[in-house]
Structure 1
């Protein structure tokens, strides 16, 4: 479990044992098959379960104990012998029980009841039933499986009921199944999560691995969770959809490490469960480029916080209801790993492999023996000191880390931003654009280590990898890479490139504001051409788009669609008048007056509409209603500011929709 008090971990340990079938037989010669089929029901917080048992030939008696809080609705081949115990009647070799089971599991950590498992109207994530069996007459193993009646996925220890999407990935002899609840919104993106799990599977070698790891992604919205993730049984786990990868407390890796811990723990070695998982979570996040060394170092330094000054790892009473086993435990594992790498050309993985066997109990003495076997007597003494006393190991420097772990020390940071699109081409001081524009991000990648190495920088938008750049850098070398992304919708987007992160703000284009209107000439004869000219600006500090409509005496005579960056632009149309007198010309809340005499002018060319910008290289219209840009045909650009500076260029691209109407 990630980032929660130790009481949660203690509960999980209980459930692990509860989820293990109690066997009274000896060597396996037959198989008792148990299949749980789970289904949603209408009772709040409950699920329906049917438990089918296939009894092998030669069995003379069998008794099953089902979970607490169940209500049996139907049975076949079983008779009740106690509150939760049922005896096989031998009338069929395929007896079953059908019952309802409480699916909600909550705990109060001081903030009210919060969920470890939850049942909603649309979906549920629940523990599969914990049962025990006893039998006689045959030597047998027990094979337990779970399935879902309807939409959902049943794991050996956790089941999800409801709509879902599933993605799989093979890595290092393991198959990862990522099951996303239909109501979830996976922040990092499914491919990014699977990339990290695959990398962790290849990187962490603690012994034999499960062939399949089942990962459920549960919604964060509308549920108060007591944990960011939970692992149960051998290889089932759930993680909240909001959990990112760019975090030294990476929940995805933390819970995955729990699937690798096959050993049994004693009171004195309970700390190793969370301490080991937290260390690897931070290390993988750093090595994957999600965090920089300072963030990794700060995570290790959490173990030296004053709140842990009384923690003795072998004595849980000194860290109950604190993060001591997580924080100091991670630091101790990291310290031992670095010493093993720097001085003994091995790693903490090798030490863990010494005791990581299913069913094997890890005593404190055996833990120290494993450290000595991988290192030496001096390192054993260090391990003894930092686990049995309140002493805390030091945090190592970047240089010490590079020397011990080898490889390049890569860091990435956003260097600059630029924008292009229908409004402008400009450099930006910050990633702030409007919908429809393309943002270009330039990222500097540096190798601060002492060895040449390959780099791979994924560019992620809201956790989804959209582009990747790779290359090779020698010690002390740096390079720049660029990424582009067009944003069609307004909103805030989390951007990440390797360990660098920022937020892009995408806004809707501002409205146009007509700041001036004039007619030329202001006195005209009937039939004489009059030019109506409006000056327009953005109503806010960002590009604008809109339509400018010209009207005479309240009746439309022409309109133009305008897109512009900043500054001012002019929009023109022409019209004639058929009646004498004063006529009001309007556009965007501005007005002007044209006085028309009874004289009749000689007809001129057909009227057109045009648009022109300021005299700094913006676009202007021609007599035939077309528009033209700068000499190279591209919109003008500014070279400084966030795209909206004091004297920026203006682009007014016009889709002309004009018509001429004679006044009557």
Structure 2
């Protein structure tokens, strides 16, 4: 299909030149073949072999001038490739001139001498002249492009592989007698693929699929890591080829999955020529902003618009990429409608589509996609399904000459009605923007589309996460993650929604970051229906667990229980008769951010006499008590938690009356840091003071 305009994420110049004969003297019926000559200029044509998807018919003439272009990868010189031009000159050709690209440096010739500028002339010293040049292939964007990626690279040679624009090589030749045509072919020295406009050099795997008369060829370089299976991409292309009925289809479509490691691409994908495409290998299929299909839609456009309707090129590619992805079941209606609705919000809603100076980088993509979608919906509704925007698309492709705004809106009116065209033109020529339509309206106008299930963790006040176990039973509404301790059980809600256009059976899998399945839910939902499934899992081992469902992640941090601290200890009374009980109370605190458990051991002179288990949530504090009964007299050390102690005085039972008269008021409390040594020192000081007091009393009696 001849393209009047090349449009996608980037507009590229056409590399193939036209064959234009230059008239010489015409031989008469009585003259010999050598009495006249004809000179022709020709550009490149594609090859017809393993390395190309552009067919070349064999020359009808008896003789032909054969040109073979061979591409060589040069791993030791990243950024450059070698290109060799080989000619086979028949006897009736008397002059050959070839032209090399401006970014080429000729390194060797055989049978060619430099002429003027970038031209080389055949010396006639051999019938098989050749010329080899180095071609600088790295290209970058002049600025940030629409739907751009993070970098600036358009074409690259990394050394082990190269993806670049096929160079344009012109040939001019003169012959005697009957016509001598130029036949062209390409070859690769090693592994590689040559298309009409794109060349890839390096190791790769070839994947092919035929559908609706189209041969799809997906080239996956060994250096590329596809985000989806090659078969899924080819399935998508085959389905799109069938669904998108807008006129003739190209016989061959070449798609190269561009490696992303070490290259900062300036665009996510690119279409050039009639049907050559490259897309970053990391691009997904399950997104309304589907670059694989966006570029394919461009390959089905064969019209030349005026300035006022240029927006339709990107608008229709944006819309149909999303619609086809919806119809293939890769996304649901909510995601489809939300993507189109971006065009109704600032800054894109302020775009005047008929005036390219207002587009910014993406106005014609977003608002253009919304307007095309609105036209499609309204044409279907107005025609009771007999027409759609595909009807308009077909008329555009079949239109002779430049596509004007008047012709475009006439096509819209003919497919729908005058009101559809009038309202659509208003959206294109003002800052007004249409609204999207509901799922029910979509099904009524477009027909049913596959069930599609959206699964995500659903954490809210109504559906919180629940934690239970030996330490606590609680709920939580934090998004993204939670901290547990070992042997706690998590109940995590998962909402499953059928946002497709038909009832269907769901199969939802929850995985870990190691891609292990830990839960699987199945069920059936009608279109628009939702349900809550609950993942229940007990975590026995400390670690970090990243759970995922449909690409959404929830992180579970599992830790050992917190270490609880005994912060103070008290005893009542601190002076008792042997055999009397003492109440010992310990204050226990959890200063950490997770639950903890501890068995508090109460000791008498280092021997454990009682145990109490304490469980505390993060930040909590409590007290626990035990009864200790000393049976021997003297000073005894009571303890809890190892480092916290208190001293008590046990007197003989005969002193019980004296000892116990004020026992309810005798309490001793210690905190960490005031242990036995400090308490002992205190007793010594008290003893010294007592002795001093007795002596002073005796002196007063004297």
Shared topology, TM-score over 0.5? Answer: yes
In the aligned structure 2, how far is the partner of 1:95 from the partner of 1:338? 60
Residue in 2 that maps onto 1:412: 454
Aligned residue for 1:328? 367
Answer with 152-161 or 321-330: which moved more.
152-161
TM-score of the superposition, structure 1-length normalised?
Answer: 0.62
Q: Does 1:20 align with 2:19?
A: no
Q: Secondary structure at the match of 1:399?
A: helix
- Whether 1:105 and 2:139 are equivalent positions in the alignment is yes
1:150-161 matched pairs, under 5 angstroms: 150-161=190-201
Partner of 1:571: none
Alpha-carbon distance in structure 2 between the residues aligned to 1:506 and 1:185: 29
Q: Secondary structure at the match of 2:12?
A: helix
Q: What does the per-residue CA deviation read over 1:277-311, in whole Å, with 9 as the maximum and x for residues that have no partner? A: 11122223333343333322222122223323553
Number of aligned residue pairs: give it.
511
Report the equivalent of 2:391. Answer: 350
Give yes or no for the alignment of 1:244 onto 2:284.
yes
Structure 1 residues 28 and 183 mapped into 2: Cα distance closer, same or farther (>3 Å)? closer
Alignment of 1:558-597 (within 5 A): none
2:9 touches 2:270 (CA, 8 Å); kept in 1? no
1:104–1:117 CA contact under 8 A, matched in 2: yes
Q: Secondary structure at the match of 1:306?
A: coil
Q: Does 1:297 align with 2:295?
A: no
**Which of 64, 69, 80 is the aligned partner of 1:35?**
69
Q: 1:502 aligns with which of 552, 565, 574?
A: 552
Question: Which has the higher mean CA deviation after the structures are superposed, 227-236 or 268-277?
Answer: 268-277
Q: How does 1:276-425 map to 2 (within 5 A)?
A: 276-319=316-359, 321-344=360-383, 345=385, 346-356=387-397, 361-408=402-449, 410-414=452-456
Secondary structure, counterpart of 1:13 in structure 2? coil
User: After alignment, is 217-226 or 364-373 more displaced?
Assistant: 364-373
The CA deviation at 1:58 is 5.6
Higher mean alpha-carbon deviation, 74-83 vs 359-368, is at 359-368
Matched-pair contact (CA < 8 Å) for 1:36–1:146: yes
Report the alpha carbon displacement of residue 117 of structure 1 after superposing the two structures with TM: 0.8
CA distance in 2, matches of 1:159, 1:470: 46
Does 2:103 align with 1:69? yes
Distance in 1 (alpha carbons) for counterparts of 2:151 and 2:127: 43
Question: 1:40–1:129: structure 2 CA closer, same or farther, 3 Å change rule?
Answer: same
Change (3 A) 1:196 1:43: same
Between 460-469 and 283-292, report the one with greater CA deviation.
460-469
- Specify whether residues 290 and 373 from structure 1 end up closer, same or farther in structure 2 by C-alpha distance, changes over 3 A only: same
- Deviation track 1:529-568 (CA, whole Å, cap 9, x = no partner) reads xxxxxxxxxx9999xxxxxxxxxxxxxxxxxxxxxxxxxx
TM-score by length of 2: 0.59
Q: Are residues 244 and 269 of structure 1, via their aligned partners in 2, closer, same or farther at CA, if it must alter by over 3 Å? A: same
d(CA) in 2 for partners of 1:312, 1:243: 30
- Residue 164 (structure 1) shift: 2.8
* Structure 2 portions without partners, runs of 5+: 1-5, 22-39, 41-55, 460-464, 466-475, 485-489, 536-542, 565-591, 596-641, 643-702
1:330 Cα shift?
0.8
2:109 paired with 1:81:
no
**Preserved CA contact (<8 Å) 1:431 1:504:** yes
Tell me how far 1:323 sits from its aligned partner.
0.9
Shift of 1:24: 0.8
Residue 49 of structure 1 corresponds to 83
Does the aligned pair in 1 maintain the 2:353–2:368 contact within 8 Å? Answer: yes
Residue 355 of structure 1 aligns to a residue whose secondary structure is: helix
Residue in structure 2 matched with residue 524 of structure 1 by the alignment: none
Query: CA 1:310–1:442 in structure 2 vs 1: closer, same or farther (change >3 Å)?
Result: closer
Matched residue SS, 1:200: helix
CA displacement at 1:70 relative to structure 2: 0.5
- C-alpha distance in 2, partners of 1:216/1:309? 34
CA distance in 2, matches of 1:132, 1:208: 30
In 2, the alpha carbon distance for the partners of 1:241 and 1:286 equals 21
Post-superposition offset of 1:325: 1.5
Q: Distance in 2 between matches of 1:163 and 1:440?
A: 48
CA distance in 2 between counterparts of 1:177 and 1:458 reads: 33
Match of residue 264 from structure 1: 304
Tell me: CA distance 1:59–1:304, structure 2 relative to 1, closer, same or farther (3 Å).
farther
2:259–2:280 CA contact under 8 A, matched in 1: yes
Q: CA deviation at 1:334?
A: 0.7
Query: Aligned pair in 2 of structure 1 residues 139, 334: CA closer, same or farther (>3 Å)?
Result: farther
Q: Secondary structure at the match of 2:409?
A: helix
**Alpha-carbon distance between aligned partners in 1 of 2:545 and 2:327, rounded to the nearest angstrom:** 28
In structure 2, how many angstroms separate the alpha carbons of the residues matched to 1:101 and 1:261? 31
Superposed CA deviations along residues 331-354 of structure 1, whole A, max 9, x for unmatched, are 121111111222222222222122
Q: Tell me: CA distance 1:472–1:284, structure 2 relative to 1, closer, same or farther (3 Å).
A: farther
- SS of the equivalent of 2:407 reads helix
Show the counterpart of 2:267: 227
- List per-residue Cα deviations over 1:152-209 (Å, max 9, x = no partner): 3333322222233333334443333332333332223434333333332332222222
Whether contact under 8 Å (1:262, 1:358) holds in the other structure is no
Q: Which among 158, 164, 180 is matched to residue 120 of structure 1?
A: 158
SS of 2:339's partner is helix
Classify 1:447/1:511 alpha carbon distance in 2 versus 1 (closer, same or farther; 3 Å).
closer
Partner Cα separation in structure 2 for residue 167 and residue 491 of structure 1 = 39
Aligned-pair CA distance for 1:458: 8.8
User: Counterparts of 1:71 and 1:121 in 2: how far apart (Å)?
Assistant: 18
Give the secondary-structure state (helix, strand or coil) at the position aligned to 2:266.
Answer: coil
When Rg is computed on C-alpha atoms for both structures, the one with the higher figure is 2
The answer for the alignment partner of 1:208 in structure 2 is 248
> 1:336-377: per-residue Cα shift (whole Å, max 9, x none)?
111122222222222212232599643334333432343333
CA separation in 2, counterparts of 1:324 and 1:80? Answer: 49
Secondary structure of the equivalent of 2:86? Answer: strand
> Aligned equivalents of 1:469 and 1:142: distance in 2?
61
Alpha-carbon distance in structure 1 between the residues aligned to 2:437 and 2:223: 43
In 2, Cα distance between the equivalents of 1:231 and 1:150? 25
